Structure 1
Amino acid sequence: MEGELFLTPSPGFSHQYIAANIATLLRDYVEKNNLGLILFAPFDVVLADNVVLQPDVLYLSRERFSLLTENCLQGAPDLVVEVLSPASGRRDRLQKSRLYRRYGVREYWVVDPAGETVEVFSASEKGWLLAGVYGPEDSLASPLLPEFAAPGAEIFRRPEGLTV
């Protein structure tokens, strides 16, 4: 990240399960509407020579397919989802958020597993604008994907009987 290497512990179960839930909901919508594709970590997003990030989930529209290589994405995806973890939360909210905006990401979701919230931000000339905050009782909406609606309960759902 801007020439500095960050090593963080592997994400925990809740982080991974929530990221998978979001990827599944997005993928179903994107594929049904033939809009592009959904990818998830670990997959490098090369925003600049010294800026390589691995968002938890990303959406790439068909219009940006030319940025995709076998090994990485050479440019900004349309949508980035970061699921917070204790080791990365501050960096996701500050440094990564600024980099995603600077290099052209159009929408940014910050998912807090502990608080069971998803903050949806839309890019503007002045920075990120908060488009909405969603919890388990809400239906998440995306300004970038106008007809997308994801039940918050599905985002934060865990397998029945699991106590992790």
Structure 2
Amino acid sequence: MSLPKEDKKYTYTDYLTWPEHERWEIIDGLPFMQSAPKWEHQSISSELHRQISNYLLDKPCRVFASPFDLCLVEDNENDDDISNVVQPDIVVVCDETKLRKTGYFGVPILIIEISSPSTAIQDRVVKFNRYEKAGVKEYWIVEPDGKYINVFTLQENKRYGRPEAYTEEDKVYVTVFPDFTVDLKLVFDGIPNN
């Protein structure tokens, strides 16, 4: 079992050999280790998952929370050669045929990342660009410290437009599910102001 080195390009095959108790992602073949999230992160994730899961009860889509491998396929890569394996905090998928092995091999309809100081650049730049390029229709970045969310929606030109910003007093209108809103009061309930 070899641990990743920063000077090599890695694939899903390499990823499967790394210790299970460690959380890794691969973006463009480069490894990134993830640290354990704070309780506030887990509280926000749990409530988002609960609201989305309740909405999807009788629908063909499913919601998953991290740890869950999302393998973003590029240029007809086969599963073993995929060089983008990420673990979004929340992911909604609508094609169950792409659920296999350790997660989902395709493009989800919605991804939510709960940002922290240690993941801010990854969430706002690296993953933003990767998700946009892959064609993820809706991407949320949750900011626990400020209790707000930026929602990016893929436009006709295959780029994310200006974000819609929501605070803890708002309800988020989910573009990919027009009859669904997420109540942010419940999401941020009990999270201290920083």
| TM-score under structure 1 length normalisation | 0.90
User: How much has 1:150 moved relative to structure 2?
Assistant: 1.6
Question: Who is 2:122 aligned against?
Answer: 91
Q: Larger radius of gyration, structure 1 or 2?
A: 2
SS in 2 for 1:100: helix
Per-residue CA distance 1:61-91 (angstroms, 9 max, x = gap): 2xx2211114211111110000001111111
The answer for the alignment partner of 1:128 in structure 2 is: 160
Q: Is the 1:3–1:51 contact (alpha carbons within 8 Å) kept by the matching residues of 2?
A: yes
Structure 1 segment 26-37 matched on structure 2, within 5 A: 26-31=52-57, 33-37=58-62
Q: CA deviation at 1:142?
A: 1.1
1:30-85 alpha-carbon deviations (Å, 9 max, x no partner): 11x41411001001101031111000001112xx2211114211111110000001
Is residue 154 of structure 1 aligned with residue 186 of structure 2? yes
CA distance in 2, matches of 1:35, 1:117: 29
RMSD value over aligned CA atoms?
1.8
- Any stretches of 5+ residues in structure 2 without a counterpart? 1-26, 74-81
* Residue 126 (structure 1) shift: 4.7
Q: In 1, distance between residues paired with 2:143 and 2:161?
A: 18
State the TM-score, normalized to the length of structure 2.
0.77
Matched, 1:54 2:79: no
What is the deviation of 1:8?
2.5
Residue 131 (structure 1) shift: 5.0
Question: What number of residue pairs does the alignment pair up?
Answer: 158
Residue 88 of structure 2 aligns to a residue whose secondary structure is coil
- SS of alignment partner, residue 155 of structure 1: helix
Identity of aligned residues (%): 27
The ranges of structure 1 where at least 4 consecutive aligned residues each deviate by more than 2 angstroms after the TM superposition are: none
In structure 2, what is the equivalent of residue 141 of structure 1?
A: 173
- SS class of match (2:56): helix
